[in-house]
Amino acid sequence: MFSELEISAPAGLKTKEFVLRPLLASDAELDHDAVMESREFLRKWEQSTWPEDDFTVEANRDDLMKAERRHANGDAFTYTVVNLDQTECLGCVYVLPPDAKMFTDAQVTAVGADQWSDCDAMVFFWVRASRLPEHLDRTLLDSLITWFEQEWSFTAPVIVTNEQFDQQVAMLDGTDLRRRFEVKVPDDPGKYLAYA
């Protein structure tokens, strides 16, 4: 867990396109709007039925309260991506430790000579469906790479997606990043792909 490593999470990031800041329970309505607009690809990304068609703002608020608590405790970090006046949620960024529960029983296969034990952070992100045509996902990714290099203390973070999220896989494959690991979680239909 990050809390044992005393990782100091940056307060956020502001670019000319968006603001990245810690996700709060008070963001429930804005976040819910982005989640529900993007639910078809989020289900592939999550490898689950989440979010269900009847997922409510209140249920989302409960989820966000847990994320806010994990962030405050330093167990995992969740950031919302919002427009410059913070009236629209554009997506989310999640920073998990390599020993996160989801990886406990996972089978990790290295694509090259890298060692999973050398990775010190797993970074997941998504942007709302209506912003994909303008390539906001690539803009966010480029900003995240620089942000992690300059403001975080990690030495070997990886960007993680799911092989079923075709659009994000294609976007990552089109960058200078290289696929380092394939991660198979028991009972999940697809593999997670980790890039660095």
For the stretch 1-50, pLDDT in tens is: 676 667 889 999 999 999 999 999 999 999 999 999 999 999 988 889 99
Residue 14 structure tokens:
């502001």
- Per DSSP, the residues of 22-72 read E--GGGHHHHHHHHHHTHHHHHHHHTSSPSPTT--HHHHHHHHHHHHHHHH
Task: Say whether pLDDT at 189 is over 90.
Answer: no
Query: Residue 108: which of 184, 178, 160 has the closest Cα?
Result: 184
pLDDT for residue 5: 64
CATH number of 2-195: 3.40.630.30
pLDDT for residue 3: 60
Maximum distance among all alpha carbons in the chain? 45
Which percentage of the chain shows pLDDT scores above 70?
98
For the stretch 115-128, pLDDT in tens is: 999 999 999 999 99
> Could you state, in order of their start, the residue ranges of all structural domains in the chain?
2-195
Whole-angstrom Cα distance, residue 81 to residue 27? 11
Sign of torsion over alpha carbons 113, 116, 121, 122? positive
